[in-house]
A and B are shown apart, each in its own frame.
Chain A
Amino acid sequence: MLDLVFWAPVMIGGLLAGGSCGLLSVYIVGMRIPFLGVCVAHAALAGAVFGALAGLEGQMLLLPALGGAVVTATLLGLADPRKINMDANVVMGLLFSVTMGLAFVGFGLFSVLGKSDNDVRSLLWGSLNYCQWNDVTLMLIAFGLLVIFVLVFRKEMRAIMFSRLDAQAVGIHATAVWTVFLILAAMLITVNFQTVGGLMIYSLITNPAAAAFQLTKGNTRTMVLATILGAASGLGGFLLSAITDLPSGAVIVLVSSLVVMVAAVWARLQKR
């Protein structure tokens, strides 16, 4: 007999995490900034670590995690690569190393202070224990916000993805729209990383788009397909994880990577 109390939030959580990260992945891969996932996830992790050190626990850890992620995303958005003469990926690398350093200094402080770091350590890998109805609600809100953003700013994001400089040249407020997007992405990654895992979310914000780009073209079709592939990877990964008792993040990575491989083979066969 299926234990719906456990399985229902897991399945819906998997769908939402996969779908929202899949939609996000179109922009992440489109802009060639897959590093954003690890960068923001580590910023969130650093926030959570210092929140835990300050005595916060459970859902309350989300607040400092969100703070760390949003500050990092804002810095990334305002750093115009052309003005600072540095590629976005280099800026991300810099912020990633700083936030990772902070997070691991924080982990070191747990032992110095004689505290347990179990709560935050599990954030690195993701756990289905976190996937309860209140988590699903947060995932749903984050997904809803992303969908609203996409509907409102789709044409601006399409231009920014093509070229941020060109978008500015045609009179689009590229920096403002891009910064809002990054903040939203940071929120979404933070909300999802406790179930998918801080390290594993990287694959979920790149693989669905990588697969969709192989199979179709055009902005709308790609976004719809990436969302579906992401949702399928998320749901499939969560279910497999629940059945096998393996870490959810690792299983999602393998499932979404398999989707990319199948898409690549399919695209190659279609070209013959």
Chain B
Amino acid sequence: MNSNAIQLEKLTVRAGRKTILAIDNLSIDRGELVGLLGPNGAGKTTLLRCLLGLQKHARGRVQVLGKDIKTLGARGLGLLRRRIGYVPQLLPSHSEMPLTVREVVAIGRTGIAGLFHPLRKRDWEIVDEWIERLGLSSLAAHGYTQISGGQQRKTLIARAMVQQPEVLILDEPTANLDMGWRERIVEIISEFYQLGNLTILLVCHELEVLPSCCNRIAIIDSGELVADGSPGDVLSEEMIRSLYGLGFDLLAGNGRYVVVPSEVAHA
């Protein structure tokens, strides 16, 4: 069995004539937790969408769980997506429908159950199990739009986990959350990593979102992979300044990292 969960080779994605993503080589092993960093507009979300087959690539090969995305038809793509848990960057807001938290989590089982098959008792048991594991039991019957941003994010994480995925893709899972919620999400990601059989690709802006168990970081800037390695090798003040500009310092401790304005670091 191929030990790579994700493999990109000479990947090029274009928007019109402009190349927005060009990655020569990137592979992620099964069971690995990789942090994907980069400034706004670097191409992180585009990369994630390529992995899900939601964004077509012009050239190269995108292989996920041994499947070449470009060769898959609609059915094959659907089957592959059911093995990938995806937590989007933006909280969906296209619906007026007052769906409950339990119903939103159950969306994760919908593709797996398949067309013409209702969700079975076992599907609902899995849904309730993850609602409980993520501490959402008391909110299960609440309307999704009536709960806080952090709780909504947890709901989407539960939705991804009920798929019992082999790959979990988290696109800025702590965006717009306060520090308390951010730490709770980081703890949850660490717990998922302890499961051992889950490949996690975590996209984030803030280094403090990376859990201490994250032992590999890939950095994208202007659509190109500019660094890939252990946090100790990749994260340097030079790198941070080249990405985000002068005036920032990098602090590290117990396997966690944080970027702060220089004036704070030197106060």
Within 8 A of A (CB), among B64-115: 74, 77-82, 84, 86, 88, 92, 94-100, 103-104, 106-108, 110-113, 115
CB B52 to nearest CB in A, in angstroms, measures 5
CB A42 to nearest CB in B, in angstroms, measures 23
Q: Decide if B163 is an interface residue (CB 8 Å cutoff).
A: yes
Residues of A within 8 A of B141 (CB): 218
Indicate if the CB atoms of A171 and B95 lie closer than 8 Å. no
Q: Decide if B259 is an interface residue (CB 8 Å cutoff).
A: no
When A155-B118, A155-B119 are in contact, do A171 and B78 touch as well, CB less than 8 Å? yes
A179–B75 alpha-carbon span in the complex (Å): 17
Q: Decide if A169 is an interface residue (CB 8 Å cutoff).
A: yes
Q: Decide if A113 is an interface residue (CB 8 Å cutoff).
A: no
Indicate if the CB atoms of B97 and A166 lie closer than 8 Å. no
Residues of A within 8 A of B98 (CB): 213, 216-218, 222
Residues of A within 8 A of B79 (CB): 171
CB within 8 Å: A-B pair count: 111
> Interface range on chain A: under 10, 10 to 19, 20 to 34, or 35 or more?
35 or more
Which of the candidate stretches A27-35, A185-193, A239-247 sits at the interface with the other chain? Answer: A27-35
Q: Decide if A156 is an interface residue (CB 8 Å cutoff).
A: yes
Residues of B within 8 A of A164 (CB): 94
Main secondary structure of the interface of A (DSSP, over half): helix
Residues of A within 8 A of B119 (CB): 155
Interface hub of B88, B103, B104, B159 (most chain A Cβ within 10 A):
B103
Q: Which residue of B lies closest to A159 (CB)?
A: B107
Q: Which of A29, A173, A216 contacts B115 (CB 8 A)?
A: A173
Q: Decide if A134 is an interface residue (CB 8 Å cutoff).
A: no
Q: Which residue of A lies closest to B88 (CB)?
A: A166
A26–B99 alpha-carbon span in the complex (Å): 12
Q: Decide if B149 is an interface residue (CB 8 Å cutoff).
A: no
Residues of B within 8 A of A222 (CB): 97-98
When A166-B92, A222-B98 are in contact, do A156 and B112 touch as well, CB less than 8 Å? no
Indicate if the CB atoms of B97 and A171 lie closer than 8 Å. no
Residues of B within 8 A of A216 (CB): 98
Residues of A within 8 A of B159 (CB): 170
Q: List 26 A-B contacts (CB under 8 A).
A: A30-B95, A30-B96, A32-B96, A153-B115, A155-B113, A155-B119, A158-B106, A158-B107, A159-B110, A161-B94, A162-B92, A163-B95, A164-B94, A168-B54, A169-B81, A170-B81, A170-B82, A170-B107, A170-B159, A171-B78, A171-B82, A176-B74, A213-B96, A213-B97, A218-B103, A219-B99
